[in-house]
Structure 1
Amino acid sequence: MVSANCSTEDSFKYILYGCTFSMVFVLGLISNCVAIYIFTFTLKMRNETTTYMLNLAISDLLFVLTLPFRIYYFAIRNWPFGDILCKISVTMFYTNMYGSILFLTCISIDRFLAIVHPFWSKTLRTKRNAKIVCVAVWITVLAGSMPASFFPSTGTRNDTGQNTCFENFPDTTWKTYISRIVIFIEIVGFFIPLILNVTCSTMVLRTLNKPVTLSRNKLSKKKVLKMIFVHLVIFCFCFVPYNVTLILYSLMRTQIWINCSLVTAVRTMYPITLCIAVSNCCFDPIIYYFTSDTIQNSIRNRSKVIGIYLFAVL
């Protein structure tokens, strides 16, 4: 068992969560609504990549819309909305995180096929197949997230009597249910996509450096390299720290190892890395911008119109 002498003080997380989630709500709501509008009404032709991006933006927006409930909870440290809304809130968090990981992986694989195998992949890279893949991703992430709602998600704090949402589970619940969910989502939702993202990006870089492709348009190659760099930085920055910490946190809660220094470190890092993971809702639109020339032109044109309008008003 985890020693009773180990410090478990992590109340700082409520202020951290409240501030971070509030910022993510504002920025994520605006950026993803704009992205969905551009994908739906501005793009004249939607290809496989934009299909994945549209689903990624929808996933981000659905999660962002649940944040006001969490922000209120973190502010007063009491969950008055009942068990159902708690389950929905938690399910959307994991659906968004691992949905984002899988949709980013789809974009990486699509880029790999287009650059490394441009000819025989034409029959695979179709809008119809992209839609099928998106449906499969939604089914996978929901299948991995829904089990979190099979047991009571709300509880009561012993010291204050306030209601909690997906917090303070007993160790038996971690051993029986949550640890199994963690194993599934870590393998399917993180480790496999991480390997695929790194492998695809590496193969694309190798292909671009071959003598046959050196004569290609330098601007085009520079754009692809920038896309890969932004993609990997956002993927690693947002998701790697949280998922590594989640594994350690799960080991701690299932009492597999005991070390007070590590327990303190993990309890401190878990809220921080979770906030970083949630921020992916704000960073995903950056990927849209660097991936599509049409989106860049659309944003630039609208920025000019807004600038002209503001200049005229002032």
Structure 2
Amino acid sequence: MASLVLNETGLEDCGIDDSFKYNLYGVVYSVAFVLGLVTNCGSLFVFCCRMKMRNETTLFMTNLALSDLVFVFTLPFKIFYNVNRHWPFGDWLCKISGGAFITNIYGSMLFLTCISVDRFLAIVYPFRSRSVRSRRNAAVVCAAIWLLIVGGGMSVTFFSATNRAKSSTTCFEGFSKNTWKTYLSRITIFIEIVGFLIPLLINLACSSMVLRTLRKPATLCQIGTNKERVLRMIVVHLAIFIICFVPYNSVLFFYALVRTQALDSCWLERLARTLYPITLCVATLNCCFDPVVYYFTSESFQKSLTTGKGQARPENVPRSEAVLSGKESNDTEVVETHQLASNGKEQVSETQF
């Protein structure tokens, strides 16, 4: 998290110069702002205006896009700061900018985890999970996640303040080693466990169980899709999660050990200060990669994006995106299990990923 890492205290002790990060942040934030703004605004437009189907997966994706946009809107201030190495926007905007980063990084991981769990339930327990996978339950989960990440962001922004340094004003920098030892290290451990480690384990567990379920021939008949499509969804989802978030959070934990002097070595501090800006930049780009998850996870999103028309879902039919209607007589038993009565007519339910 930017507010926990950009701390220059102690640079003189080992003679470490990590000023390369300012140019690096300036370039990466500029790219993330342009691509993130275009892709996430476009995604929200598709979700809100072009998709006729509204289900729990769509709700998770919409909140993920909102989380990305909250961060994207603060990037111009970060770009100005890293280019000029001066923060003229005041203390409160410094706090908001730091909190937006926390909201994006850990909100993205939690919402991606929700999508992964929803896909797991749809494939592994397609019938028993129908009562659980509802828009109401999804809305409750989204609200809980926002409370969690906003609360975590506020706890961090308490330490995100502007500091006078010679002729300039800094933001996200200047935390003492005592602050790290007493407060920031504890906050870092809590965020790492709740916002990263637990979601990572859940994602890996859900993906492994989905892959195991796909080995059963009857599964493909139940979910009404092909195995290659599901595998592609899993690969894209895990790739974004692992590439963007695993290196960043691993190095953050390593950096916290260095800042609290649990690891007291100039070589290790130099390594931490070199790796952290790089992994933070990769994590920042998640706001540009998330729309890829939307495209590969939601068939309805693909259709809305390419044709402008999302598949309509009949009323009183369980949420879904792939209609189980292409099965012939050998799949009759599966189809009949999904049939629901609506106004005296039978409708085939859908399964969502």
Structure 1 partner of 2:196: 190
| 1:184-224 Cα deviation digits (max 9, x unpaired) | 11010000000000000000000001243366789522111
Structure 2 partner of 1:79: 87
Structure showing greater radius of gyration is 2
Structure 2 partner of 1:234: 240
The question of 1:180 aligning with 2:186 is answered: yes
Contact 1:2 1:252 in 2 (8 A): no
Structure 2 partner of 1:308: none
Q: How many Å separate the matches in 2 of 1:276 and 1:176?
A: 29
Using the size of structure 1 for normalisation, the TM-score is 0.91
Task: Letter of the 1:90 partner, please give it.
Answer: G
Change (3 A) 1:4 1:147: same
Structure 2 partner of 1:97: 105
The question of 1:277 aligning with 2:283 is answered: yes
Contact 1:3 1:258 in 2 (8 A): no
Contact 2:120 2:209 in 1 (8 A): yes
Q: How much does 1:252 deviate?
A: 0.7
Change (3 A) 1:18 1:4: closer
Q: How many Å separate the matches in 2 of 1:4 and 1:76?
A: 22
Change (3 A) 1:165 1:10: same
Change (3 A) 1:238 1:225: same
Using the size of structure 2 for normalisation, the TM-score is 0.82
The question of 1:267 aligning with 2:273 is answered: yes
Aligned residues: 300
Q: How many Å separate the matches in 2 of 1:243 and 1:56?
A: 19
Q: How many Å separate the matches in 1 of 2:301 and 2:128?
A: 28
Pairing partner for 2:117 from 93, 109, 121: 109
Q: How much does 1:96 deviate?
A: 0.8
Q: Percent identity?
A: 57
The question of 1:44 aligning with 2:52 is answered: yes
The two structures, once aligned, show a CA RMSD in angstroms of 1.8
Structure 2 partner of 1:309: none
* Poorly superposed stretches of 4+, deviation over 3 Å: 1-5, 214-219
Contact 1:28 1:64 in 2 (8 A): yes
Change (3 A) 1:118 1:216: closer
Structure 2 partner of 1:199: 205
Change (3 A) 1:257 1:2: farther
Structure 1 unaligned blocks of 5 or more: 303-314
Structure 2 partner of 1:171: 177
Q: How many Å separate the matches in 1 of 2:215 and 2:305?
A: 31
Task: Letter of the 1:164 partner, please give it.
Answer: T
Structure 2 unaligned blocks of 5 or more: 1-8, 309-353
